[in-house]
Structure 1
Amino acid sequence: MSGKKTVSETLHGGIRVDFDADEVLYEEGTGHHRLALIRNRLFGKVLLLDGAVQVTSADEFMYHEMMAHVPLTAHADPRDVLIIGGGDCGLAEEVLKHDRVQRLTQVEIDASVVDFSREHFAEFNAPVFDDPRFAVEIADGARFAAETDRRFDVILVDSTDPTGPGAVLFTPEFYGNLKRILRPGGIVISQNGVPFLQPSEFKTAMGALASVFAATSCYLVAVPTYFGGHMTLGWSSDDAEALHVPEETLSARAAGIQTRYYTPAHHRAAFVLPRFIQTLFDEAVT
């Protein structure tokens, strides 16, 4: 289907972001989500789930690189990695750039999102499906975390915002289950929204993480698609030392990995928060 129209994203009261759809490539309900794919002259292909932008072909690397490379260079031996969500498989592509990763398991609730992304976003996710280290399980991520007997070194929660089916992925119970399946020294990274527009959601998530893990922090990534300023990625572990890995060590672990956003120097700088975000964080964890 093709045609010229405007697609609107409304996530927060009083704010609407419009995208010119130079072409509507796909629109349909999947059973779990309402899915749409448009082409925009600036952002390229834009995938929306339930009216909310999830990924674009132009700026996906910013979010995916920071979610993947920060924990994987900080961890001394990230052999087993778990992704919960991340159906577009852009995050998986970044994870698999690390030779130290021996196995990557992705748990996605909606098989149609993976199939759709494999077809329409091959420009960044094609290598994933040819990598023998990669496996997809179509399952509910919260249930998987509660029931699996497996253990992981790094867990990446690439979720939607805490509304609807995604709300369960921001609860103390879920975070407790992640801690249960995390090996000693392991790291959990979570998507925690845009604090300027979502201060209460940010504080609730940070407080829940801090109630479960001994070392909780967050770091920043700027993604043009995600309106409202800096996006925060939550960092959780029971090992505070991984927050202070020297830049030289990060550089050695990232050697040979091609990036367009992540650098070891920026890795360190991303944990320096603007005062208003630091204030929200301090209020959440104390």
Structure 2
Amino acid sequence: MPTDSWINETLYEAWGQRFRVKRELARVQSPFQDIAIFESETHGRVMVLDGVIQITEGDEFVYQEMLAHVPLLAHGEAANVLIIGAGDGGVLRRVLQHPTVKRAVMVEIDGEVIRLSREFLPGIAGGAWNDPRANVIVGDGIDYVKKAPDASFDVIIVDSTDPIGVGEVLFTDDFYRNCARILTARGVVVNQCGVPFMQADELRDTSARRRAFFSHVTAYVAAVPTYVGGFMTLGWAGKDAGLTQIPLETIRQRASQAGIEGTTQYWTPEIHVGAFNLPPYIARHLPKA
């Protein structure tokens, strides 16, 4: 690819972002999606799926830290964690930072995402692929959740594309019904719910679906620069409402004991607690208590 070329994101029809490309590293049409990885001038290496920016080396830490550390530190004793999607390995890496975790099952439907991430984005997962606690499965997360035993996971983290194409089935009633079934008594499921300034229907519809199966449904926010449109929401559905109200000092103590505090670039105990305090333009799309 010539050095004066640009890649334009196609997520929104009338608004978007573009990157000037230094070098294209890979472009693969998998059985599920078009995958491109390129080297940018500003954000390091970038992965694009079906024309939509998924992850950049420059700001991946924001999304990954908040998707993993918030539910695990809120729970405090999560031993069994299920990750659906997240083929770049960044969520797996953060989950495995927690010494309470004895087993981390990661189910990614597109093996090409894993292969290309390991080859071209090795720093995102680090050594997570070789951790003996990790069980990485190339397969259908929907099918895995359907067949998993009752109460077999403490935390489920869903790192998917938006509810179109390959990611659509991860936003259905059947999926959330099975998530509730396989979670333990204090279990929680988190997943990305889009940028509500532009994708309010994603947060609203997903939250309403989860409300049928979980007693406590809310969201928390993270500001990821390359997910344009302001705050991104990370949907939260749990069986214990108290997990989103853990005192600041308890979160700090858990993070210190886990060796997390001081290793992050976005997450802090204060950010953790504050992330559940939603602006009204976001909160209004959640189910009423």
TM-score using structure 2 length: 0.95
Question: In the alignment, which residue of structure 2 is the partner of 1:33?
Answer: 33
- What residue in structure 2 maps to residue 268 of structure 1? 273
Match of 2:8, SS state, is: strand
**Shift in alpha-carbon separation, 1:100–1:2, aligned structure 2, 3 A:** farther
Q: Which residues in structure 2 correspond to 1:203-282 (within 5 Å)? A: 203-255=204-256, 256-257=259-260, 258-281=263-286
Within 5 A, what are the aligned runs for 1:44-55? 44-55=44-55
Q: CA RMSD in A?
A: 1.3
Deviations 1:94-146 (A, max 9, x none): 11111111110000001111111111111121210221111111111111111
Residue equivalent to 1:84: 84
Superposition pairs for residues 1-286 of structure 1, below 5 Å?
A: 3-149=3-149, 151-255=152-256, 256-257=259-260, 258-281=263-286, 284-285=287-288
**CA–CA distance in structure 2, aligned partners of residues 224 and 76 of structure 1:** 29
Unaligned runs of 5+ in 2: none
Inter-partner Cα distance in structure 2 for 1:241 and 1:250: 13
The runs of 4+ residues in structure 1 deviating greater than 6 Å are none
How many correspondences in the alignment? 284
Distance (whole Å) between structure 2 residues aligned to residue 49 and residue 259 of structure 1 = 26
Contact kept, 8 Å, 2:193 with 2:235, in 1: the verdict is yes
Give the C-alpha shift of residue 154 in structure 1.
Answer: 0.5
- Do 1:88 and 1:121's aligned partners in 2 also have CA atoms closer than 8 Å? yes
- CA separation in 2, counterparts of 1:12 and 1:207? 24
- Contact kept, 8 Å, 1:247 with 1:264, in 2: the verdict is yes
Tell whether the 8 Å contact from 1:217 to 1:235 is kept in structure 2 after alignment.
Answer: yes
Percentage identity across paired residues of the two chains: 42
